[in-house]
Homo-oligomer: A and B are copies of this chain.
Amino acid sequence: MIKIGIIRVLTTADDQLLNAHGRLIERCFPQFETISRCIPNQPEGIHDERTREIAVPKVVRLGNEMASESVKAMIISCADDPGLEELRGIVRIPVIGAGSAAAALALSLGKRIGVLTITETTPEVVRETLGNSLLTEVKPEGVSTTLDLLENENRFRLVSSASELKRRGADVILLCCTGYATIGMAQELKAKLGIPVVDPVLAAAAATWYAVTVC
């Protein structure tokens, strides 16, 4: 078993929620054993410039702690990649950000990437990684933080926004918040829309798999 650290940027005392991304990864990569920890005092996760800014030093501190617990790699489970560069600069194991990994995987699957966000703007790292392949972005109505994705009555809005991306010509949909992974959105959208849908947590896991087992 290969031990992987998962850094959650949503502060929660609910163990099931805390471990949701880790369990998803373990289902797809049975060779991975995950440990999830969350940064403190971010009950709404990261959803704007301020919540990102205050998260960065917390991610770096937590990542640095986890690196000493014999994990072979770490995933920053947030589409904004908070603290990714900083953490890579100080630990000696691979660190994968869900934002860059998701954008990267999308580029393998198509050329006109439609981004389903939770905020008005696509995170900079995703925007930069996609470059000219970023076709368009849509924020579902009624959603402004990752917590809103957990509300069942918002689900039809998520599906409708994703359909809108396809209608505008997207050949791949990128789920640009790891909260979409928590609610298993990728599988549902793929079945409904018939085009590839990138789950940011599994994209990060695939890159991690490469980093720790191949090269």
**How many copies make up the complex?**
2
Using a CB-CB cutoff of 8 Å, which residues 182-212 of chain A contact chain B?
186-187, 190, 196-199, 202-204, 206-207, 209-211
Nearest CB in chain B: distance from A81 CB, A: 10
A171 to B95, CA, bound (A): 12
A197 to B210, CA, bound (A): 10
- Does A107 lie at the interface of the complex (its beta carbon under 8 Å from any beta carbon of B)? yes
- Does A69 lie at the interface of the complex (its beta carbon under 8 Å from any beta carbon of B)? no
Q: Is B94's CB under 8 angstroms from A109's CB?
A: yes
- Please give, as numbers and ranges, the residues of chain B lying within 8 Å of A196 by CB-CB distance: 94, 210-211, 215
For the residues of A in contact with B, the DSSP-based class is: helix
Given known A108-B104, A131-B128, contact A202–B198 (CB-CB < 8 A): no
Among candidates B171, B203, B214, residue contacting A210 with C-beta atoms closer than 8 Å: B203
A203 to B104, CA, bound (A): 11
- Does A129 lie at the interface of the complex (its beta carbon under 8 Å from any beta carbon of B)? yes
- Does A146 lie at the interface of the complex (its beta carbon under 8 Å from any beta carbon of B)? no
Q: Is B107's CB under 8 angstroms from A129's CB?
A: yes
The 3 closest A-B pairs by CB, nearest first: A108-B207, A104-B104, A104-B107
Given contacts A109-B211, A199-B215, 10 further A-B contacts (CB under 8 A): A85-B111, A94-B196, A101-B108, A104-B104, A104-B105, A104-B108, A105-B108, A105-B207, A109-B210, A197-B215
